[in-house]
Each structure stands twice: as C-alpha cells, then as structure tokens.
Amino acid sequence: MRPAGRSELDSLYFTYPHFDGPSERGHLGDEVPVAIVGAGPVGLTAALTLASEGVRSVVLEKKPTFNDGSRAICIARQSYYILDRLGALTPFLDKSLGWTTGRTFYRGKQILEFQMPDSEAERFRPMYNLEQQYIEQFLWEAAAASPLIEIRWQSAVTGVADEEDGARLSVSDPGGDYAFKADWVLAADGAHSPVRKMRGLRLQGENYEGRYVIADVRMKHDYPTIRRALFDPECRPGGTVLVHRQPDNIWRIDYQLRDGDSAEDATQEAEVRRNVEAVLKDLGHTGGYDLEWWSVYSANTLALDDYRDGRIFFIGDSAHIVPIFGVRGLNNGLADAQNIGWKLGWVLNGRAGEGLLDSYTPERRGATLDVFANASKSTRFMTPPSHGWQVMRDAALSLALSHPYAGALANPRQMVPYTYADSPVTLADDPAFSAGPAPGAVAADSPLEQGHLSERLSGFTVLVFGDQIDLAGLERIEGVAVLRLGAETDVARAYDAEEGTIYLIRPDMHVAARWRQVDPDTVETALRQILQISGESL
C-alpha cells in the first residue's frame, strides 16, 4: 500500500515500466516446450535457467509490470551463484548492499553482534539487500535479451488441463482468449497461486499468530548495512522490530502487531506513520522521512505435500510459504527455479531421463522443511506462542544484558544451503574422505588462480585432481565438462583430494558424488545413474 494520493506504482525511487499484452497473435496457440506462469523473480530465474540449457519457454504474467512494492529484499550468497550462472550478476553486484553483521538490542541496549561466515577468500558476501523491483528488473533485462524467452504480459492463465504428454493452458489477455499446449508447466504464480487452486491443491502446515507490518521509508540515515533487531524497544513495549538498509536511502522497518490488533487498522496510513515515527525516534533519527510503501504478513509455515502434479511443477511461493525472518522465501524460490530448470533442460535436451525430475520434490521440499525447523525457532523467539516461551524469551534477553552468552539465544539461525543428502540422485559418500563437501552439499568455492572455482564450473562438471586418470570417455558426453586441477592446490586441500580424486558437481553446484580413488568406468556408471539414463543413450 502507498500513501494517499499516490497510486500503487507511484514509487519514490523506482520507475515502473508498462508492458502491453501480446500484439502479434498468430503464434499464441503454438505448442511450447515449457510454459512458466508468473514473471516474478522465481519465474524469470526458471526461464533464464532453461535458456542457459538452450530450452525455449513462454512466461505468462497477469500484471502489466513488476511487483508493486519491495517485498523480498535479502539475497543470500548462494543466490548470487545462481545469478552468476544466468549471466545476470553484474547489475545485482553494482546496485545491492552486501552485509555480514547483525545486531540485537533489548530495551535499547545491544546484547548481541553476530557475524555471518565471511572472509576475503569468499567470492560473495553472505547477504545482499536489494529492493524486489530491482531484482525483477535485472532478471527481466536478462530475459528480454534472450531469444529463447517470450514474456506475455497482461496474460492471465484461466485453466490448466492435463493432456497426453503435456498440459493445455487457457489464457486471457486484453486481445482475447486462447489456449496452447505446453509439454511442461512451471507454476511460479506466488503465494495465492491460481494454478494451485485450479488443480485443487492446498498448502499444508501451520499458521502462526504473529503478524508483522513491513514499511519502507526513504530517509538520510547514517548507519551501516547491518541488520538491527530490537526486542522490547521503547517504541513497542513487548514487541519486536527489524531494521534493514536498502539502496537509494530506503530503509525497511518491520514491526510486530500486538495480539488483537486488526490488520485492517494496522495498515491505515496514519497508524503506519505513527508506528514508523516511534521506531525512527528509537533509532535516534531526527531528520524527516518519506513513507514509500507498506504491507502486512504472517509468519506461516505452509507447503505442498508434492511439488509436482503431473506435468506441472510448483516453484517458489506457490509451493511453500515461509516466515520472513529466515530470508528464505525468495532465496529458496530461486533455488527451486534453478533446480527444476536445469533438470527439465537436461531432460528436454535428451541428456537425462525423466526420472531425474522425480528428485525435484524431495530435494526442494526437503529444503523447505529445513527452513520450517529453523524458522520455527526464530519465530518462537520473535513471537513467543505461549506463556512459557514468553517467560523464557524474556529471561534470556534480560540475562543477555549482563551476560553475553545468553545473547546467543537471540541469534537468528544461520541459513546455509540445504544438503540434498536424501535425494534419489545423490550417491553414497566414499568413506575414504575425512573432509570436503559431501554428496548433496553445495560445492565449496575455493579461490583458484586469480578467481574462484565457481567461475570454472559449467554444465555437469567432473572435477578431477591430478593428471594420471584418463577421462576421455567422459569428455565426449554432451553437457559434461572435465575440469582438471592440481593435487597440491588450495582447492585440493578444501576437497580433501589427492591424485586421482574425482567430484561430480551438478549444474546447481551441489555435489552429486565423489571418490577419493576411482576408475573411469565407475564415474561413467554413476553419471548414468544420476542422470537417470540407460547405457545406450549416454
């Protein structure tokens, strides 16, 4: 919502483009390999991932422009690797604000300063703040430059019917109604997903009581890019406030509503201003401010039981709703998009069997359940659900004022990329290893020569240490790249590797398998198993 007199797209810092619906209509009914419903960050990431595999897609978006406000603002390190793979990284690095530190205050006094894992050797910072409109704009710019992506704006999907080897989508736009067949559909149409409703599917899980208002203000405020969490501050006795810096002098104020506060009252402009001004006073901000935009959300943990329904895959918020504190809504959505994107790309290119797609739900739903476990702890601290939790939370905060060890209880759970340990396409670990990234984990991005290992990965990478083992057979497989590294390098040490050690690294940087010592035939058999293909077609 925006202040009186300003329309939903009348931003203080962002100029929304306006996109017309399709004007050339001759091809609209043509069959496409992949239809993506929703041109938000998740849908566009899926389209770009497919394009990077050479696969064409049509993106259907009911709105004529980007999201009407900045919802998700925190982009995690692993998402920057996704953007890098898509060739979309540069504008993000130029515009966003990287950060490493968080500070927690109780009754105005700092009780904890935490650092997320970071060092000079890391290619990216642990977290970056950037308004969602820019996230969408930068992804759109990359998508618009791709001949493999067609975005149809103002195009609402009104029906999704099963068809042999695909789905038939009914679409309504200002120029008329039409239908077309897609071999596969990716539903990236958000928390209120019309596709999910049309398929009669429901999210399962818990609705928490805690509700928060997020408000963006523009102000000249001298404070570094450090996340501040205020517990029981003067401005909201008993409540919790979060403060984030964003580019363009925009600040995110996030405050908890009291039990019994109605969302309708709380989102009245005068009420938002009153609350924001109280927070700014607590922060010691004396200059003026402009109210940019606000919204209200709940801390729910909801997910689909299965992220796949026939030829339709649900990605992002259509598949799962997570509390905001873990900053996993957007980031997990991007990981969903990359996960199904490369798998579908490989299947459509004939490089992998359809069985590979069965790994999408266990891997990505597993990541959601992991978020739920962490977020439930954060949520219980931010919004104690009962008297007992409230008493212990207050006791911990009070103790932390004089004893720093208690401040650790207020530490938001560090979100690290989920390990696909139980995935059907993650092979068992070789017990000969004593360190390094295990199968299912994200590959460590060690410094390599003047850059990082991640810059040398492409497709399915066979990472081989030393020069003894002959991998000529593997090098002939389409999409598979062999990367040879010295057995005495920093990378070798980070991977617990010796002469002859091999890692298989997937296009999404997760380790699929590894062997300390192995023969090439075993590696080839493992690749077949991971890609779910029979021997003849490899």
Residues within the interface to other proteins (CB under 8 A): 391-392, 394-396, 398-399, 403, 405-406
CB of 79 to other proteins, least distance (A): 36
Give 207's contacts (C-beta < 8 A, 6+ positions apart): 298, 300, 302
Instruction: Report yes or no: 517 and 501 within 8 Å, Cβ to Cβ.
Output: yes
**CA pair distance 293, 159, nearest whole angstrom:** 33
**CA pair distance 286, 268, nearest whole angstrom:** 23
Phi, then psi, of 79 in degrees rounded to 5: -70, -30
CB of 236 to other proteins, least distance (A): 18
201's enclosing H/E stretch is none
- C-alpha dihedral over 470, 472, 473, 479, to 10 degrees? 120
Nearest to 340 by CA among 308, 386, 292, 382: 308
**CA pair distance 454, 286, nearest whole angstrom:** 45
**CA pair distance 533, 453, nearest whole angstrom:** 28
Residue in the structure block whose two tokens are 């066979």: 462
Pick between residue 144 and residue 391 the one whose CB is nearest to other proteins: 391
Pick between residue 89 and residue 401 the one whose CB is nearest to other proteins: 401
Instruction: Report yes or no: 118 and 68 within 8 Å, Cβ to Cβ.
Output: no
CB of 403 to other proteins, least distance (A): 7
Pick between residue 163 and residue 394 the one whose CB is nearest to other proteins: 394
Pick between residue 104 and residue 129 the one whose CB is nearest to other proteins: 104
Pick between residue 311 and residue 393 the one whose CB is nearest to other proteins: 393
CB of 397 to other proteins, least distance (A): 9
Burial of 233 (C-beta count, 10 Å sphere; 0-12/13-18/19+): buried
CB of 151 to other proteins, least distance (A): 54
CB of 106 to other proteins, least distance (A): 12
Query: Distance between alpha carbon 363 and the CA centroid of its chain, in Å?
Result: 14
What token pair was written down for 201?
């599917």
Nearest to 75 by CA among 301, 376, 328, 325: 328
Pick between residue 121 and residue 395 the one whose CB is nearest to other proteins: 395
Pick between residue 399 and residue 416 the one whose CB is nearest to other proteins: 399
**CA pair distance 437, 91, nearest whole angstrom:** 30
Residue 241's CB: how many other CB atoms inside 10 A? Answer: 23
CB of 241 to other proteins, least distance (A): 21
Nearest to 505 by CA among 465, 449, 451, 447: 465
**CA pair distance 235, 272, nearest whole angstrom:** 13
CB of 406 to other proteins, least distance (A): 6
**CA pair distance 503, 515, nearest whole angstrom:** 7
Pick between residue 237 and residue 535 the one whose CB is nearest to other proteins: 237
Nearest to 512 by CA among 423, 417, 416, 418: 423
Pick between residue 9 and residue 397 the one whose CB is nearest to other proteins: 397
> What are the strands, taking DSSP E only, across 402-534?
447-448, 451-452, 460-465, 480-485, 502-505, 511-515
Pick between residue 197 and residue 403 the one whose CB is nearest to other proteins: 403
CB of 405 to other proteins, least distance (A): 6
Residue in the structure block whose two tokens are 């994200």: 442
CB of 398 to other proteins, least distance (A): 5
Pick between residue 191 and residue 399 the one whose CB is nearest to other proteins: 399
CB of 239 to other proteins, least distance (A): 16
